[in-house]
């Protein structure tokens, strides 16, 4: 009502001034500018929308259940144990337990953190309010703090309107608003917004009419302010990691349940070949395989469609360009070198070898492990370094020169050697990377490279004819599966 009266007064004043001959154009511009700024300060935006309307979704209760999420059994179990406290409010009060105010989901992108938050709302029968950390940060000081207050207020009001006793506020990318204070010196908007979030969480109590739980997700927990992570704020930190082989299999089963699979599809083999794939990658993999089958006119999705989809997810779409004959021969020898050393050192590890151009790669070899490993031994790292430098060694021995195609291989090898040094796996013993003299570090790394390179060169020389045979067939076929490659190796060795 006040706004309408004010607008009427301004319009009447402008009309009177215009009738008296005054130039009212500057006043009109000033009036619009004043109205614009007033809207920004009072409503938190040009549209006058509150946080609930702009940055959050009012979806009541999501349809996602914990059973719909695969590959995160450990995270689901830990999360459900924490949520059981919220479901038993009377038991909490009787035992004098402090209410859990916040749960932080930490892990790589695409692992299902948002889905876990939605499933938590379903599990607890709570209203779900979702927003992102970036929604709170504005150029005008104070607006972020206002939006935080409105978010908590709207969550409570939505729960009361729908007759629910609890609500979950989910903040995705909380590292944007919750990073360590004092880092942004241009203005204090970031710090004020975080301070308001801390205040709102401190005000949550088990005696509130509506039980509020703050859930947040981040893949950068290392940059969060410690005040957020202390007990009484985010009381539980749930790690949502990349799924292991068993988890990947369960995710594939979920995402292929509505797809017509051929009887020859081996989801367990696909799960093995997708080491370090996230849930989002696996969903995309199943989708791409279905697209390949549809383009081909196949009524069923076959194993080869999944294999093609794996290559696309990792490397990108096939490119039309094809290297010249001499360059293609070099690429084939390079990739055969990788594959040969991989098979010699880790039998059965090569999944695919191809010289089909994808993304920025002219060819590549995909290696897979029988099992997921989370610790690396010295022997394991040395084998990985050997595989990395095998392509360049094969080029040098068979073509008398190296190429820039080994640049990425050497970068990976250098990182692996540094891991050996900093993990105490060399003759230097336990060292501090920042304290060790650069010259000494360089000498030790050069020594390791020289030893491994001599070993790899010896293997390539001993199998020089085999490398030639496989490279020639690779030029004609462009691609071999791991099993086909191993058959060719057996034939070449027996010839």
> Confidence band (pLDDT; 50, 70, 90) for 37?
low
> Is 350 within a domain?
yes
Query: Are residue 33 and residue 104 in the same domain, yes or no?
Result: no
Q: Structural domain of residue 385, as residue ranges? A: 325-494
On average, the pLDDT of the chain sits at 83
Is residue 243 over pLDDT 80?
yes
**Cα–Cα distance measured from residue 427 to residue 223, given in angstroms and rounded to the nearest whole number:** 35
pLDDT (tens digit per residue) in 385-399: 999 999 999 999 999
The pLDDT, as a whole number, for residue 41 is 47
Is residue 222 over pLDDT 70?
yes
Catalytic residue, chosen from 288, 308, 335, 382, is 335
The order of strands in the sheet holding 479-481 is 364-367, 350-354, 479-481
Joined tokens for residue 106:
């930490």
Is residue 357 over pLDDT 70?
yes
Residue 282 maps to which CATH number? 1.10.8.60
Residue 217 maps to which CATH number? 3.40.50.300
Number of domains forming the structure of the chain: 4
The pLDDT, as a whole number, for residue 238 is 94
Give me the mean pLDDT over the 355-370 stretch: 80
Among 69-83, 139-153, 277-291, name the one with the lowest average pLDDT: 139-153
Q: Which residues sit opposite 129 in a β-bridge?
A: 58, 169
Contact between 276 and 373 (Cβ < 8 Å): no
Strand runs (DSSP E) across 88-229, as ranges?
Answer: 102-106, 127-132, 166-172, 211-218
Strand runs (DSSP E) across 288-412, as ranges?
Answer: 350-354, 364-367
Reply yes or no on whether 433 is catalytic.
no
Question: Where is pLDDT greater, at 55 or 434?
Answer: 434
Query: Are residue 14 and residue 120 in the same domain, yes or no?
Result: no
Is residue 405 over pLDDT 70?
yes
> Is 157 within a domain?
yes
The pLDDT, as a whole number, for residue 54 is 40
Query: Are residue 11 and residue 148 in the same domain, yes or no?
Result: no
Q: Which residues 6+ apart lie within 8 Å of 434 measured at CB?
A: none
The pLDDT, as a whole number, for residue 26 is 66
The helix (run of H) or strand (run of E) holding residue 481 is strand 479-481
Query: Are residue 384 and residue 348 in the same domain, yes or no?
Result: yes
Query: Are residue 123 and residue 168 in the same domain, yes or no?
Result: yes
pLDDT (tens digit per residue) in 301-316: 999 999 889 988 888 8
The pLDDT, as a whole number, for residue 256 is 95
pLDDT (tens digit per residue) in 259-297: 999 999 999 989 988 888 999 999 999 999 999 999 999
pLDDT (tens digit per residue) in 154-198: 999 998 998 888 899 999 999 888 887 766 554 565 678 888 889
Query: Are residue 23 and residue 63 in the same domain, yes or no?
Result: no
> Is 320 within a domain?
no
Q: What percent of the chain has pLDDT over 90?
A: 41
Query: Are residue 190 and residue 84 in the same domain, yes or no?
Result: yes
Secondary structure (3-state) at 156: helix
């Amino acid at each position: 009502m006040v706004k309408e009266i004010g607008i009427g007064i301004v319009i009447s004043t402008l009309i009177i001034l215009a009738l008296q001959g005054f130039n009212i154009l500057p006043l009109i511009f000033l009036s619009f500018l004043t109205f614009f700024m007033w809207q920004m300060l009072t409503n938190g935006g040009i549209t006058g929308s509150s946080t609930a309307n702009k940055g959050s979704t009012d979806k009541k209760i999501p349809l996602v259940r914990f059973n719909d999420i695969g590959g995160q059994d450990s995270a689901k179990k830990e999360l459900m144990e924490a949520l059981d406290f919220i479901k038993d409010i009377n038991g909490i009060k009787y035992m004098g337990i402090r209410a859990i105010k916040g749960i932080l989901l930490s892990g790589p992108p695409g692992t299902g953190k948002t889905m876990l938050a939605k499933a938590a709302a379903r599990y607890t029968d709570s209203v779900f309010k979702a927003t992102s950390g970036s929604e709170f940060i504005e150029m005008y000081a104070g607006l972020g703090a206002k939006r935080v207050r409105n978010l908590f207020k709207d969550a409570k009001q939505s729960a009361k309107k729908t007759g629910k006793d609890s609500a979950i506020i989910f903040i995705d990318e909380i590292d944007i608003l919750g990073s360590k204070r004092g880092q942004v010196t241009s203005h204090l908007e970031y710090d004020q917004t975080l301070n308001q979030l801390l205040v709102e969480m401190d005000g949550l109590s088990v005696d509130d009419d509506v039980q509020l739980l703050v859930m947040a997700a981040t893949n950068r927990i290392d940059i969060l302010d410690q005040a957020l992570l202390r007990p009484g704020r985010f009381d539980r930190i749930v790690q949502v990691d990349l799924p292991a082989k068993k988890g990947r299999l369960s995710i594939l089963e979920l995402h292929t349940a509505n797809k017509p699979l051929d009887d020859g599809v081996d989801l367990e083999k696909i799960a093995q070949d997708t080491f370090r794939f996230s849930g989002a990658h696996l969903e995309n993999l199943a989708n791409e395989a279905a697209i390949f089958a549809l383009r081909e006119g196949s009524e069923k999705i076959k194993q080869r469609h999944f294999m093609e989809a794996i290559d696309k997810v990792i490397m990108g779409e096939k490119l039309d360009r094809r290297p010249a004959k001499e360059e293609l021969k070099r690429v084939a020898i390079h990739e055969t070198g990788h594959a040969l050393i991989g098979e010699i050192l880790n039998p059965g590890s090569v999944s695919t070898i191809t010289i089909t151009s994808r993304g920025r790669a002219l060819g590549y070899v995909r290696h897979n492990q029988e099992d997921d490993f989370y610790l690396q031994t010295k022997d394991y790292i040395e084998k990985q370094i050997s595989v990395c430098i095998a392509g360049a060694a094969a080029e040098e021995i068979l073509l008398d020169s190296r190429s820039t195609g080994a640049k990425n291989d050497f970068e990976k090898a250098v990182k692996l050697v540094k891991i050996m040094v900093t993990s105490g796996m060399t003759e230097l013993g336990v060292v501090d990377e920042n304290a060790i003299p650069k010259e000494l570090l360089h000498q030790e790394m050069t020594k390791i490279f020289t030893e491994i390179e001599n070993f790899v060169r010896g293997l390539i020389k001993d199998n020089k004819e085999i490398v030639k045979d496989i490279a020639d067939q690779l030029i004609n076929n462009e691609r071999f599966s791991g099993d086909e490659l191993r058959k060719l190796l057996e034939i070449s060795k027996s010839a």
